[in-house]
Amino acid sequence: MPAETIVATMMCAGNRRTEMSTRRKVKGVGWSQAAIGNATWTGVRLSHVLQLAGVDPRSTRTSAGGKHVEFTSVDICPEEKGGPYKASLPLIHASSPEQDVLLAYKMNGEDLTPDHGFPLRIVVPGVIGARSVKWLDRIDVLSHESQGFFMQRDYKMFPPNIDWHNIEWNTRRPSWTSLSSPP
């Protein structure tokens, strides 16, 4: 499979959580404005791998009813009751080449280090860092989003009329930045 290289900014969902907590208490680690980074990632497009497995590009559903792609890590988490960390993306996001989702094995031209997910991780540009699963063990296509703790019970902030039972996770995030050049 051809190697692809992309530049992507990864941001923790907790970026600026300390500031958000001054308005309304938000659970999680109290990051300030430093939970963000930019890197060059090299790997193969997830959309190509899914296509080899029979998933059409830009699919919303497989013939078997799959609507989400789950990524499972070898990282064991207490929150998962001794199970592995896992997260998922909607199939349409995972199977679209334009989304640049990578199975990455290099960062900034070097093999991944253990801290960054060696030997393989998912990189999901434009989506919270928690969905870019490190130390990848398996990929599954499911009929429902991942039931992992960090997908169902964390990384969500709700308006008053929404709670844990009626929220639908979305890969879209509001833009917090803009780029410009001098006139």
Q: Which of 28, 136, 120 minimizes the C-alpha distance to 84?
A: 136
Q: Six-digit token pair at 61?
A: 């559903």
pLDDT for position 70: 97
Residue with tokens 């051809």: 2
**Prediction pTM value:** 0.81
Domain range summary for the chain, segments of one domain joined by +: 4-152
Q: Please spell the DSSP secondary structure of 72-100, one letter per residue.
A: EEEEE-GGGTTSEEEEEEEHHHHT-GGG-
**By the 8 A CB rule, do 85 and 117 touch?**
no
What whole-number distance in Å separates Cα of residue 47 and Cα of residue 101? Answer: 7
DSSP bridge partners of 95: none
Q: Taking a C-beta distance cutoff of 8 angstroms, is the pair 104, 122 a contact? A: yes
Strand boundaries in 19-157, DSSP class E:
36-45, 68-76, 84-90, 102-107, 110-111, 121-123, 136-142
Give 28's DSSP letter. Answer: S
Cα separations in angstroms, 100 against 8, 38, 136: 9, 15, 17
Level-2 CATH architecture, domain 4-152: Alpha-Beta Complex (3.90)
Q: What is the pLDDT along the chain (183 residues), one digit of tens a residue?
A: 899 999 998 887 766 667 767 776 666 666 666 678 899 999 999 999 999 999 999 889 998 899 999 999 999 988 888 899 999 999 999 999 999 999 999 999 999 999 999 999 999 998 988 899 999 999 999 999 999 988 887 766 666 677 666 666 565 555 555 555 666
Q: Please state, in angstroms and rounded to a whole number, the distance separating the CA atoms of residues 55 and 68.
A: 12
